[in-house]
Homo-oligomer: A and B are copies of this chain.
Amino acid sequence: MTERLVVIGGDAGGMTAASQARRRRSQDDLSITVFEKSGWISYSACGEPYFISGEVPELTSLLARSPEKFAQSGIDVHIHHEVVAIDTEGHTVTVKRPDGSRLEEPWDQLVYATGASPIRPPIEGLDSPGVHVLRTLDDAAAISQRAGNSSSALVIGAGYIGVEVAEALAMRGLAVTVVDIFDSVLVRTMDPELGSLAQAELEANGVEVAVGTTIEKILTKDGRAVGARAGDQVFDADFIVMGGGASPNVDLAADAGIPLGPTGAIAVDERMRTGVPGVWAAGDAAESIHRLTGRPVNFQLGTVANKHGRVAGTNIGGGDATFPGVLGTAITRVFDKEVARTGLIRTEAEEAGIEVFQGTVDSSTTAGYMPGKQSMTVTVTVSADGTLLGGQIVGGRGAGKRIDTLATAIWAGMNGHDFAMADLSYAPPFSGTWDPVAIAARRAADTAAKA
């Protein structure tokens, strides 16, 4: 008898799970049906800022694969189909069709990959026309269109999305202001010293940055957003983009009794199984275990969603895969700077009760005597015994991807002193003889040793 797999959500987590399961099991053995409530599947949300900036001319370029392509490989995808209820006893989902009618779809295995939605901070007037979020391709299209007939924009929230949207809109020629409640941009992922370098790059490119600013109210004219107010400060803007975080879409799961974890996302084991037999979770809606703290986290990253989906799909397909945890490795471009991080920053270490020590090096992307060199700052974080726990990089072209070297060393549990003596590459177009990541690691380990 054919087993039935139903996948809720057609983006990275869900489609990767579907594809992996399909690779391992024939259509006779496993039917695969995907329900996606929007009109898009398998798109690069991470690419949306580069559509808004104008670098990617066609929104459809961000689509990795069409429903038709999936159909050819035996994956039945239904867009504009919203799953509105899960019955974990009867093993069905209730699906709302585009015409509003309902469908009961049975399943033997279920993948919950509903993603996340932008957090709505308590700001008066947030529902006003002219206040945008950036999540789906439709969101990206709306912002891009608005940018085309505007001269200014306000971005509320200076996380990755906020910073990337600010860059994109500035590249489109708009006067852009970014505000954030905290005293530094990218505050959840970078220490303030490094975040301030990203902020400086924004400002150097004409973006106004107002940190420590709590927006209380959206200002409107004729019902449309025309700015925002924070205390006595007023920020005028032709439109507004919410650049803050997102929260996992878990209502459907919670209603069905699928257990959530301490982060509020779906709790999973290392095989991506939820607490309900036959139900798996993947992507932004699911938790991961942080490799360094051992605690559940909800990191909403494309890399994590892909790996979640791969693990779930491999296991559904009859393989044996485990998700090895996350470090929160991430990178972004801020104009001419590359901003990257992995592992723990100071506030994360503090929350986890881990004493940390740091080493920083201000270096350059080439040997000092080469033309075209750009600055590169690297901070490495270690524990009291010198074990590598984190890395942060802000620098010119070629700087950012060095974070993967640190991420790999952290992944392997290396000590800062040992890592500093590892055989890394060198030539004058790329660095000094000792790569800055090695120097920073040594300094961090030295600091720990002296403490």
Contact = CB atoms under 8 A, between A and B. Distances in A.
A191 B338 CA distance: 32
Contacts of A340: 425
Interface stretch (A103-111, A240-248, A379-387, A407-415): A407-415
A20 to B, nearest CB: 13
Given A425-B340, A433-B306, A367 B44 contact: yes
A427 interface: yes
Contacts of A433: 12, 44, 46, 302-303, 306
Given A61-B369, A423-B303, A430-B331, A412 B402 contact: no
A115 interface: no
A303 B369 contact: no
A328 interface: yes
24 contacts: A44-B367, A44-B369, A47-B428, A56-B371, A291-B423, A302-B433, A303-B434, A306-B434, A328-B423, A330-B425, A330-B426, A333-B430, A342-B425, A400-B425, A401-B402, A404-B425, A407-B422, A408-B408, A408-B412, A408-B419, A409-B412, A411-B412, A411-B422, A412-B414
A327 B342 CA distance: 25
A301 B367 contact: no
Contacts of A412: 408-409, 411-414
A196 interface: no
A284 to B, nearest CB: 14
A269 interface: no
Contacts of A47: 367, 369-370, 428
Contacts of A400: 425, 430
B403 A425 contact: yes
Chain B CB within 10 Å, residue with most, of A404, A422, A434: A404
B327 A44 contact: no
A89 B413 CA distance: 46
- Stoichiometry, copies per complex: 2
A57 to B, nearest CB: 9
Given A324-B418, A397-B398, A429 B302 contact: no
Contacts of A403: 425
A329 interface: yes
A397 to B, nearest CB: 7
A250 to B, nearest CB: 23
Nearest to A47: B428
A333 B400 CA distance: 18
Interface in A237-260: none
A301 to B, nearest CB: 7
A315 to B, nearest CB: 14
A332 B401 contact: no
A62 interface: yes
A438 to B, nearest CB: 9
Interface string A420-451: 01111111111101110100000000000000
A55 interface: yes
Nearest to A414: B412
B50 A370 contact: yes
A307 interface: yes
A371 B55 contact: yes
Nearest to A399: B401
Interface in A45-62: 46-47, 50, 55-56, 61-62
Nearest to A164: B427
Contact of A405 (B325, B331, B408, B418): B408
Interface string A202-241: 0000000000000000000000000000000000000000
Contacts of A306: 433-434
Nearest to A406: B408
6 closest pairs, A vs B, by CB?
A: A412-B412, A331-B425, A61-B369, A404-B405, A327-B423, A408-B408
A326 interface: yes
A422 B406 CA distance: 11
Contacts of A62: 369
Interface in A322-375: 323-333, 338, 340, 342, 367, 369-371
